[in-house]
Amino acid sequence: MRVSKASLARRITVCAAVAGIVVGAAAWSGAADGSPAAPHRDVQAERILHGREVFDFKSLSELLATSPVVVQAKVTGVQPGRTSGSEETGGVEQARDVTLQVTDTLKNYQGATTTLVMEEYGWDADGNGYQVENVAWSNVGDTGFYFLRKTDDGQRWRLVNTQSRALDKGGWLQSSAEPGSELAAALTGYQPDELAFQIRWMLDKKNQQVLTPLAEPTEVTGPAAESPAPDSGAEEPIPDGSTDDGSEPTPYPSSS
Amino acid sequence: MPSTSLRISGAVAMSAVLLMAFPATSYAGHDDSGTDPDNRNQAVKGFSLTANGTSAMNHGKAELERSVISTSWGGGDIEVYDGSYGDTGWHGRTDCTDWNALWTSCDIVRVRLNQSYSKSASQWKSLGCHEFGHTADLGHRARSNDTDNNSCMRVEIWPTRYDQHDLNAIKAGT
């Protein structure tokens, strides 16, 4: 069959359009977690959430002493976890359940199995992913140190705070503490074996005087949680215009 | 030589390929290291706040007023919630729930205040100052760069004000 150049070009154009639609449709369905019917959840965090945490650790001794459980572990799975919140409290969120295969128990983990589920955040109600402070989402294959406490459902675990993870990055540990912070500086340069040794040394009964736990917060529930806090009446004075406090000359040090 | 209509068809086909091959979902490539407000006029709205949450919001708003940012009451910019979020490890959280089209600045910032941990009246004010500081793209301060201990952007102490450095940073960053 004889085909003119114009006809051939037209056919190629149609084929390209069809291919484009097919490729595009595949990409869209992939973005929705593999199924058009599945709820949309981002496959990676798209924003960072900031805030004030209960604990702020300055040293390994504070972090270690305040953490109920410390393990070395490997991430073997990640899947959507429980939801919490409501419209009245700012929206519904969904956690990520991170399965950790415990490879070494350094402090107090007495689970019946060698795997545990650690909760991390998360997705909002629209499936938009976010990470909290410097804690990048866990990936299968990650290995490192996890400083943990139980979640309020008593079933899962969570990092004590966003400083409480140190991942093995090619033989060197990378802390989840804010870069430049005292804790991040304290953990910089450790290799995994060295940190494990240091932790065991600090937990040894002969050396426990080096441990400096931070005070636990006071939890309140029920009507007491909504009661107006007593006011001392004292107003803090407005600071003067001085920047002679170690903060200058950097005009804008806050990167997070 | 292909006709004009054929060229147009080709262009449409290639556009279809490019548009559909890249879903509109955006990922962490945008300016996600802070929460840049979209302008220096921020409307503040609280949602069914308790007395403590209201105190924190009012104080945070008043502290923002000390900066180059002016504030008003109303929805659309800073939205404040409180609740018993539980033993979550945090007193307050701030994030952007509505970025502009280019993901470079934030239209709506959400502030959440946790009632589940006991705080004094002064600490609630400090928390409001701190979280509102995040809405203005401030990060945390440390004792090494706040040696006079008077910035509410510290985490381990509870000052209730922005110091001059915070105000300078808001001016530079918004």
A221 falls within a domain = no
pLDDT band at B19 (very low <50, low <70, confident <90, very high): very low
* Chain A residue at shortest CA distance from B159: A236
Phi, psi (degrees; rounded to nearest 5) at B86: 95, -170
DSSP string over A92-138: -EEEEEEEEEEEEEEES---SSSEEEEEEEEEETT--BEEETTBPPP
- Identify the sign of the CA torsion A239, A244, A245, A247: positive
Whole-Å CA distances, A92 to A85, A125, A126, A163, B77: 5, 5, 9, 25, 20
Task: Enter the pTM of the model.
Answer: 0.83
Model confidence at B58, pLDDT cuts 50, 70, 90, reads very high
pLDDT tens digits for range B98-113: 988 887 889 999 999 9
Rg (C-alpha) for chain B, rounded Å, is 21
**Is B12 part of any domain?**
no
User: What was the pLDDT predicted at A205?
Assistant: 95
Q: 3-class DSSP state for residue B119? A: coil
Boundaries of domain holding B119 = 30-173
Taking an 8 Å cut-off on Cβ atoms, the answer to whether A231 and B140 are in contact is: no
pLDDT given at position B21: 42
Closest-CA residue to A214 (of A57, A11, A14):
A57
Neighbours of A140 (CB within 10 A): 11
Average pLDDT (A164-191) is: 94
Q: Is residue B149 part of a domain?
A: yes
Q: What is the predicted pLDDT for the residue at A30?
A: 44
Q: Would B55 be classed as within a structural domain? A: yes
Is B2's pLDDT higher than 70? no
Q: Which pLDDT value is given to residue A234?
A: 80
pLDDT tops 70 at residue A208 = yes
Q: For chain A, give the mean pLDDT.
A: 87
Lowest mean pLDDT among A27-36, B28-37, B78-87: A27-36
Integer Cα distance of B144 and A42 in angstroms: 37
Q: Domain containing B132 — which CATH number?
A: 3.40.390.10
pLDDT band with cut points at 50, 70 and 90 for residue B84: very high
Q: pLDDT at position A20, please?
A: 52
- Under 8 Å between Cβ of A201 and A60: no
**Looking at the predicted structure, is the pLDDT value of residue A17 above 80?**
no
Position A37 scores a pLDDT of 63
Q: Do B122 and A46 touch (CB under 8 A)?
A: no
The bridge status of strand A93-107 relative to strand A115-124 is: antiparallel
B139–A256 CB contact, under 8 Å: yes
Residue A118 has pLDDT above 90, yes or no: yes
Q: Name residues whose C-beta falls within 8 Å of residue A84's C-beta, 6 or more positions apart in sequence.
A: A92, A93, A95, B85
Residue A203 belongs to a domain: yes
pLDDT at B54: 98
Does the residue B162 lie in any domain? Answer: yes
pLDDT of B48 strictly over 90: yes
Mutation to test the A interface, candidates B3, B118, B132, B135, most A Cβ within 10 Å:
B118
**Mind giving me the DSSP string for B48-80?**
S--HHHHHHHHHHHHHHHTTT-EEEESSSSEEE
Residue B116 belongs to a domain: yes
Count of domains forming chain A: 1
Task: Please indicate, yes or no, if residue A158 is contained in any of the structural domains.
Answer: yes
Residue B25 counted as domain residue: no
Query: Among B20, B23, B93, whose Cβ lies nearest the Cβ of A51?
Result: B93
Rounded Cα–Cα distance for residues A176 and A116 (Å): 20
Is B20 a member of any domain? no
C-alpha pair distances (Å), B165 with each of A195, B27, B47, B94: 36, 32, 31, 21
The answer to the question of residue A35 being in a domain is no
Asked if pLDDT for residue A1 goes beyond 70, the answer is: no
Beta bridge partners of A53: B90
The Cα B51–Cα A39 span in angstroms is 37
Domain assignment of residue A32, yes or no: no
Answer whether A124's CB lies under 8 Å from A84's CB: no
For chain B, give the mean pLDDT. Answer: 86
Q: Are B162 and B141 in contact (CB under 8 A)?
A: no
Question: Best residue in A52, A123, A164, A245 to probe B by mutation, most B CBs within 10 Å?
Answer: A52
Asked whether residue B121 is domain-assigned, the answer is yes
Q: What is the DSSP string of B24-47?
A: S---TTSS-SS--BSSSEEEEEES
Q: Please, are residues A221 and B114 in contact by the beta-carbon 8 Å criterion? A: no
Domain range holding A182? 6-22+40-213
CA A229, A235, A241, A247 torsion-angle sign: negative
Contact A252 B169 (CB under 8 A): yes
The model's pLDDT over A225-251, given as tens digits with 9 standing for 90+, comes to 999 998 877 888 999 998 889 887 654
Task: Tell whether A29 is covered by a domain.
Answer: no
Residue to mutate among A182, A245, A250, with most B CBs inside 10 A, is: A245
Question: What domain count does chain B have?
Answer: 1
Residue range A112-132: average pLDDT? Answer: 93
